Amino acid sequence: MHKNKTTKLVSKKLLNLIDQLGEQFATNGINHDQRDTFVADNYHLLKKKGYLTAMIPQSLGGAGVSYNDMCKILIKIAQYCPATALALSMHQHLIATNIWKYIHFNTGGEFLKEVVDKNLVLISTGARDWLDSSGNMIKTNGGYLVSAKKQFASQSAIGDILVTSMPYNDPEKGWQVLHFTVPMSSDGLKILDDWYTLGMRGTGSQTVTLENVFVPDNSISMTRAKGEFPMFWNVVLTVALPLIMAPYVGIAEKALKITLEKLKVKQGRPPHITFLLGEVYNSLTSAQVLHKDMIGKANNLDFQPENRLGVEILARKTLVASACKETVNKAMETVGGQSYYRKIELERLFRDVQAAGFHTLPEKQQLQFTGDFLLK
């Protein structure tokens, strides 16, 4: 059978399987949300059914599911458990970045093979590091001793590999930022019990601390000048943000679904309710159209990392996040006082969707970044 047909069949199978597992995802998600615990049982299902390695090319042992289809998978999972979808998106964006490198430079293949062979969970800490990064690195024989506190490390509760960066004052080159991986089992690495939040409570995004953790020289995957925007960041942004925004689009779609279910069983509706419903639909449409445009720019990982592309992706991320939040807000207004009850589920969607704006870059930072680019 042709390779493309095979991967399409796998994608369809994984999408359909979400509906079969959906009730279990949802029940587990609610329980973890109420207990402030990581969605470990949902992740066990994802690992068992091959979702963590699905996007990795078949030549490296994965299923070869397309980037576009992975975005669809995340949107669908979010309609059952937003926290599960968001945690998975953090893993997938690290996978996708390495796939881009493998496709364009034939690097990263061994790392991806290891992910497949061991069914590894990858943890990202890049959300707050941006251009300067944070932490301390001391050169030692054969590597570095690193110390830092990295927040918002999604899936850290069960993760295997930490993908992070830290600044280093190179004696010859001056301040650099070094990117590297660290096994979560490393001596000196700890996970704090501090993920008690408004929403997305099941993502297990605890703070990870590193105290004199040894990082060998061969674990350094990239070195760049501190504070300067590197060309490769356009790859990271273009690959990561459509995946990370996908769960929020799923939340917005679920909000409309719940709103329609509640309105259709009402005996009578004031005239303004249908107007509000139209607003919900328009907000959702904005989110969906802009998100599809983001996915289109990623072009199934076939793109060149131009600066304008990074700027365009960041602007669309802001707009998608705003449209998703507006969709849920309007849904609650349309449903009325019932939406304040936890049993209606809009209450949780409202809490979870608030996180959309905090992903790289928050709106005001994005606006300044875009403005600086336009003035150059």
Delineate the domains of the chain, giving CATH numbers in brackets: 3-120 (1.10.540.10), 136-225 (2.40.110.10), 233-375 (1.20.140.10)
Phi, psi for 270 (deg, rounded to 5): -60, 150
pLDDT at 153 over 90: yes
Angle at alpha carbon of residue 84, lines to 28 and 195, rounded to 5°: 90
Angle at alpha carbon of residue 305, lines to 299 and 311, rounded to 5°: 90
pLDDT at 296 over 90: yes
User: What is the rounded average pLDDT of the residues 145-172?
Assistant: 96
Sign of the C-alpha dihedral computed for residues 364, 370, 375 and 376 taken in this order: positive
pLDDT at 152 over 60: yes
pLDDT at 268 over 80: no
13-16 long-range Cβ contacts below 8 angstroms, 24+ apart:
14/49, 14/50, 14/51, 14/54, 14/63, 14/65, 14/69, 14/73, 15/69, 15/72, 15/73, 15/76
User: What is the rounded average pLDDT of the residues 139-152?
Assistant: 97
User: What is the rounded average pLDDT of the residues 145-169?
Assistant: 96
**pTM metric for this prediction:** 0.97
pLDDT band at 271 (very low <50, low <70, confident <90, very high): confident
Tell the residue number behind the tokens 């590894």, with chain if given. 120
**H or E stretch including 351?**
helix 346-353
Residue 64 φ/ψ region, left for φ over 0, alpha for ψ in the -120 to 50 degree band, beta for the rest: left
Amino acid at 117: D
For position 139, what pLDDT does the model report? 97
DSSP SS3 for 68: helix
More confident of the two residues 129 and 88:
88
For position 1, what pLDDT does the model report? 40
For position 234, what pLDDT does the model report? 97
